[in-house]
Amino acid sequence: MADTVLLTGITGFLGGHLARELLTQGYHVRGSLRNPARADAVRQALTGAGTDISRLDFVTLDLMRDEGWAKAAEGARFVIHSASPFVTTMPKDPDDLIRPAVRGTERALTAAMAAGVERVVMTSSTAAIVYGRGRNGPKQLGPEDWSDSSPAGKLTAYTRSKTLAELRAWEMVKSQENRLAVVNPGFIIGPLLDDDPGTSGALVQRFLRGQVPIAPNLVLACVDVRDVARIHVAAMTAPEAGGRRHLSVFGDATIKEFGQIIARVRPEFARKMPKIGAPDWFIRLYALFDGDMRANVSELSYRPVLDSSRAKALLGRAPLRLDESVGAMVDSLVSRGLV
């Protein structure tokens, strides 16, 4: 009988690929939805990608409600907790992001440990490692490094939510850390499974529509969604993954370089890519009038070398190339009429 995996956040970009990887490897997937009406859309997306969904079922869970969590974890051997709120425009009240991220983590871990789940794999982010350091931050960072989550730090509401949620997870398993493995991916790109571009796809849409006229010196630390999914599934059973963080970035590009990659792999969009790189002083001035840009000012011109050796070992093969991942996302957006 197939081992059962409770997968939270199955409707997300990463969640769909996690479900596909799990089903392909023979697991029974119990996917969590906040809105049960979205189950059919998930089924259609997976079958459209050629996935056998005979071992897929659903449960209704909410990051901010206790109902259903204990029952959802019953009989599961593993839990992958990928559900977390994400926005591109920061809310006025940071707790609108922080509270559901932390409370959802608490509910997932509590239910998993009470049910005797063998291991929880949690999706965190490079946000919990890299951000808020300024251009003079360390030149190299790895899975032992943490972003400053204090109120006095320079993190946005989103980056604080990811950092605080992961810190809470490690606190909850302090006496049995081997039951938790964390994956810290960067900017996730790759092929879409449905017509929802998600946050990553929405940014690529802006490039393809010519809506990135100038390029601030911000770096996108990238990873293919298919690689991230494979790393999560490997982390469930690999003995060495327990009690460890797995920074997952296999390529990076500034905003201008990202546009150049799109132009190189899909020349028909070359004329819409940003041609002008904006100096940091200009972006700092512009940020006085733009809240979203202001939230990223501390990241200008910071490009550390990131140690993803643990994640690469779990991947078990060469990571997908950045140009391949970018091309796959562009092709998805075009073929689905989302440009």
Query: Which of these is catalytic: 92, 162, 256, 312?
Result: 162
What does DSSP assign to residue 299? G
The amino acid occupying position 116 is: G
Which DSSP letter does residue 201 get?
Answer: H
Q: For residue 320, what are its two tokens?
A: 């997908």
What is the bridge-based pairing of β-strands 28-33 and 245-248? unpaired
The DSSP secondary-structure symbol of 195 reads S
Amino acid at 236: M
Pick from 44, 54, 41: nearest CA to 11: 41
Where residue 5 falls (left for φ over 0; alpha for ψ -120 to 50; beta otherwise) is beta
Which residues on adjacent β-strands are paired with residue 224?
189
Burial bucket for residue 233 (CB in 10 Å: 0-12, 13-18, 19+): buried
> For 54, which DSSP code?
T
DSSP string, 130-176: TTT--TTS-SEE-TT-----STTS---HHHHHHHHHHHHHHHHTTT-
CB atoms within 10 A of CB 66: 12
Using alpha carbons only, what angle is made at residue 248 by residues 244 and 250, rounded to the nearest 5 degrees? 145
Per DSSP, 231 falls in state: H
Q: Do residues 330 and 270 make contact, with C-beta atoms less than 8 angstroms apart?
A: no
Residue 275 appears among annotated catalytic residues: no
Residues of 154-184 as b/e, b for ≥16 C-beta within 10 angstroms?
A: bbbbbbbbbbbbbbebbebbeeeeebbbbbb
| Residue that has been written with the tokens 């049960």 in this structure | 36
Active-site residue set? 162
